[in-house]
Amino acid sequence: MPEKISLVITGAICDRIKDVPASSIEGGSVAVDTLTTEELKDLWLRQEDFVLVNVLDEPQFEATHIPESVNLPASLSDFSEHVLQLTGSKQRRVVVYGAGEGCQAALDACDDLQRDGFNVAVYSGGAAAWKASGEPLAV
């Protein structure tokens, strides 16, 4: 059985404590593909075609976000349609992220996009892990 860790997540959407398996993260109903900071950096180094989406509301996105990411709040009623307009195809890889480890908004967005047939993963560490790794955040 995977080890459980408890996390306190900051940000208006992610203000809750969540038990998250240390080795994998599950969304609402299906297991979701997760990326570490190193794996996300690798996507850029290999110049892979993907879209990095911050799923928090605009004020949180504007406060701190990973450079070159776009903001599509998961709270949008037609979130999947906005993602499709951005990517042009459900086959193009989408990486969603939020405030930090276990951010429920990012997990839910990944779960929803996966159910809608998108090629999607969640950057599990979010903006907090990106900053902790020594990488800059856009402000």
> What DSSP string runs through 48-103?
--EEEEE-S-HHHHHHSB-TT-EE--TTSTTHHHHHHHHHSSTTSEEEEE-SSTT-
Measured CA to CA, the distance from residue 102 to residue 62 in angstroms comes to 20
Q: Where are the domains of the chain?
A: 4-132
pLDDT at 64: 81
Measured CA to CA, the distance from residue 107 to residue 121 in angstroms comes to 9
pLDDT along the chain (139 residues), means of 10: 30 36 43 90 94 95 92 95 97 96 91 95 95 91
**CATH annotation of 4-132:** 3.40.250.10
pLDDT at 1: 34
pTM: predicted TM-score of the whole model, two decimal places:
0.78
pLDDT at 30: 55
- Secondary structure (DSSP) of 128-139: HHHHHTT---B-
- For residue 24, the SS3 value is coil
Encoding tokens for residue 131? Answer: 């900053």
pLDDT at 54: 97
- For residue 39, the SS3 value is helix
